[in-house]
Amino acid sequence: MKLLIRAVAFSAVVLLGSALGGSASARSLTTGPLVEHFDGTSWTQVTVRSIQYGLEAVVAPSATDVWAFGVSRVALHWDGTSWHRVKMPTPRHSAAPGFWGASAVSSHDIWAVGNVSPAHAPEHGIIDHWNGSRWQLAPFTVPRSELYGIDALSANDVWAVGDVSVRTAQGFERVGLTLHWNGSAWKQVPSPNPAPPTMAVTHVSNLLYAVSGSSSHDVWAVGQYNLWLNGTRGSRALVLHWDGARWKLVPNPSTVAGHVSFLYGVAAPSAGGAWAVGGINRHNAQHALSERWNGARWSVVRVNGPHLAGVSALAANDAWAAAGSGSSAGAGRIMHWNGHLWTLATKLDSRRGLGAVAEVSPTDVWAVGGHFTP
């Protein structure tokens, strides 16, 4: 049986949408790591020494086994007492990889995904696996790809998502990428194009930032798609569902009003309950976006603050979301869902942001991010 471990984040991309729906992306500018821990009563900062990079993903199989990742050749491991550096395998002659997502079946079966730039070759996705004693580089051969999210439902059922650049009549376009691990090999699985059939758009690109499932026939992937129409680009939130046979587009309430919207994180603790978080632009300002699946449809749930970058949920009345990572929209913060509403659990200063959260239990939660340059 799979442990209910959620570590979904994508804080490396910050969308700055215009009133007309344009978007742009930029890497987070972090000067050091940030780790926050909840002990059931309050959130406190945990000191991490000897590294100079921010953290983008976290996964917590147990209270004495927590992993955090960033743009680096090393991961950080918490053994219940302190953090230790652990080397991550990467292709030869490549720049330091960026790890954006992680997930675990158990302490002996952990995955981390991201992207890497080998010398004299296009950037491509990277998948590393922990077998309980060491990290190994998984075979992966999709050029010009990036991987942002991963969810391990079992040892032979793992999904990874991101995007891949493909050549079109307009040049190279980024389209959603879904990969599946069956216990012996990774296989690319087709996913649908989100272009509305009634909209005469010039072209469409789409990206998937996070994935989470409750079973082999109930998996969600979220992200965004960009539409180019009459020289204007607009961003809309994207939701896909895997029913055990294929990926399908699912109606998303945040796109109805036509605002710029995007989804960075998803957590699905059960078939009848899932969360997706991100951001939406209204009145020339960016706001947090929270959507909930009740087994039949998605609906928007009110939440305050800047965009949400990651979410973790163990039950219908217990979810955590991290906000403000790399965003100029406000300081980092952590929100908590108590079964009725989102409340502010802790707020950081303007130079600290969080982009990923992982819950071991209701009294043991981790969130990671970075200190940002002024």
Closest CA to 103 of 179, 192, 39: 179
CA–CA separation, 90 vs 236, rounded Å? 34
DSSP 128-186: EEE-SS-EEEPP---BTEEEEEEEEEETTEEEEEEEEEEEETTEEEEEEEEEEE-SS-E
| Cβ-contact 149, 162 below 8 angstroms | yes
- Extract the tokens encoding 117: 């730039």
- pTM check: above 0.85: yes
Q: Which of 181-186's residues contact partners 24+ apart within 8 Å by CB, and which partners?
A: 181/156, 181/157, 182/156, 182/157, 183/155, 183/156, 183/157, 184/156, 185/139, 186/127, 186/138, 186/139, 186/140, 186/160
Domain locations along the chain: 8-372
Amino acid at 187: K
- Extract the tokens encoding 172: 């190279």
| Cβ-contact 56, 100 below 8 angstroms | yes
CA–CA separation, 312 vs 316, rounded Å? 11
- Extract the tokens encoding 216: 């082999």
| Residue located via tokens 């945990």 | 46
Q: Which CATH number fits domain 8-372: 3.40.630.10, 3.40.718.10, 2.120.10.80, 2.60.130.10?
A: 2.120.10.80
**Rounded to 5 degrees, what angle do the CA atoms 327, 205, 207 make?**
50
| Cβ-contact 333, 343 below 8 angstroms | no
CA–CA separation, 340 vs 343, rounded Å? 10
Describe the strand order of the beta sheet including 298-300 as a list of residue ranges: 261-270, 273-282, 285-293, 298-300
CA–CA separation, 70 vs 55, rounded Å? 4
pLDDT by 10s per residue, the chain, length 374:
344 443 444 444 433 332 223 222 233 455 789 999 999 999 999 999 878 889 999 999 999 999 999 999 999 999 999 999 999 999 888 888 999 999 999 999 999 999 998 877 788 999 999 999 999 999 887 889 999 999 999 999 999 999 998 876 666 788 899 999 999 999 999 999 776 555 555 567 899 999 999 999 999 999 998 876 665 567 889 999 999 999 999 998 877 666 789 999 999 999 999 999 999 988 777 889 999 999 999 999 999 988 999 999 999 899 999 987 544 445 789 999 999 999 999 999 878 889 999 999 999 999 999 987 65
Closest CA to 68 of 90, 92, 46: 46
